[in-house]
């Protein structure tokens, strides 16, 4: 009797791990694809790759049912539907985008925790103006206008550019006084399903690498706000991200622990060369100083790092108690809980 191929056995085991009763198999395939892209611990068995054709089918199935794709379809249908169609588009997109709220910057969160104050909320960031980008996909840029688009781009908060900055640049391009803007890219990139169908097999795998890498860099930046022990390597990575002005963008598009549906949308985003270049830039910085989890002067390495983090969380001052002074072991704030 011929021996069963170990890859077949491991593939069946991986799929079984992600399948649950009543769950669509395509969601399990996406989780499998995500797991196969993660690093392998020493001595562990590598997770085999699922068939890329099956992954592509799962991506298309998920994206066809995503909110993003439904908004694109609604935007395109509004083009010939008159004022009522346009009003319906703005109302639907506004409801979706109005649910997003920007979190406070991790540096502000860390300062508040260390001072025993309530964590701040960024009430100023409002993504509802991004509805103009959705409208531009269906109605056209000329119909929406550069002033409205300037508001939409500024909502991302990247590069530190204001509405006025964007309006000046877009206006100059419209008058032929600056580099031209290829608005056709906006139309093309809004179609997530089409991007997956056009991408090659290697492009999908590369997008997964970029997404997982950027998710890690974003996670380090965010966890700094949750008292992650700081190291020179971490500080250098944060400085590089700040110098590039891309943290607000990462904060908008990345998720530390995405669901399969979020994973599908993030994968498409990371097909863009911009994110590939950003990933390479941060990998170069990491190569210069890879000791992300080594506290200077502590020879215990990752173990000491973990103990330092646990100690920092344990010793947090509690808001409103003893003027923000630290509390004894086991005491915690109901509000913070």
Over residues 41-50, the pLDDT tens digits come to 777 777 889 9
**C-beta atoms surrounding 158 within 10 Å:** 17
The whole-angstrom separation of Cα 4 and Cα 2 is 6
Please tell me the predicted confidence (pLDDT) of residue 330.
40
Over residues 110-126, the pLDDT tens digits come to 998 888 888 776 655 56
Please tell me the predicted confidence (pLDDT) of residue 334.
34
Torsion of CA 269, 271, 274, 275, to 10 degrees: 70
**C-beta atoms surrounding 39 within 10 Å:** 8
What are the C-alpha distances in Å from 319 to residues 112, 240, 312?
9, 33, 16
Torsion sign across C-alpha atoms 127, 268, 255, 54: positive
Q: Do the Cβ atoms of 237 and 285 come closer than 8 Å? A: yes
Please tell me the predicted confidence (pLDDT) of residue 235.
96
Percent of the chain with pLDDT over 90: 31
């Amino acid at each position: 009797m011929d021996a069963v191929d170990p890859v077949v056995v491991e593939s069946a085991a991986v799929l079984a791990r992600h399948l649950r009763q009543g769950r669509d198999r395509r969601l399990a395939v996406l989780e499998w694809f995500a797991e196969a892209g993660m690093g392998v611990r020493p001595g562990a068995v590598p997770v085999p790759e699922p068939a890329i054709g099956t992954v592509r089918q799962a991506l298309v199935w998920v994206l066809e049912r995503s909110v993003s794709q439904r908004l694109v379809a609604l935007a395109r249908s509004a083009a010939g539907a008159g004022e009522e169609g346009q009003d319906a588009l703005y109302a639907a997109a506004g409801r979706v985008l109005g649910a997003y709220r920007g979190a406070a910057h991790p540096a502000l969160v860390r300062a508040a925790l260390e001072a025993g104050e309530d964590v701040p909320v960024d009430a100023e960031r409002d993504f509802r103006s991004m509805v103009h980008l959705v409208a531009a996909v269906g109605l056209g840029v000329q119909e929406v206008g550069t002033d409205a688009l300037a508001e939409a781009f500024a909502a991302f908060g990247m590069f530190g550019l204001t509405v006025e900055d964007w309006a000046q640049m877009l206006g100059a391009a419209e008058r032929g006084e600056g580099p031209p803007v290829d608005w056709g890219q906006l139309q093309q990139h809004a179609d997530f399903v089409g991007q997956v169908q056009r991408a090659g097999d290697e492009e999908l795998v590369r997008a997964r690498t970029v997404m997982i890498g950027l998710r890690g860099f974003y996670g380090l930046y965010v966890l700094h706000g949750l008292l992650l022990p700081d190291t020179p390597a971490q500080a250098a990575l944060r400085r590089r991200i700040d110098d590039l002005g891309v943290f607000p963008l990462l904060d908008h598009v990345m998720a530390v622990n995405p669901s399969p549906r979020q994973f599908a949308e993030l994968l498409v985003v990371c097909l863009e060369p911009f994110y590939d270049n950003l990933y390479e830039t941060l990998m170069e910085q990491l190569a210069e100083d890879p000791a992300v989890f080594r506290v200077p002067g502590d020879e215990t390495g990752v173990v000491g790092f973990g103990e330092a983090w646990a100690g920092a969380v344990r010793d947090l001052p509690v808001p409103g108690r003893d003027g923000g002074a630290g509390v004894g072991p086991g005491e915690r704030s109901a509000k913070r809980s």
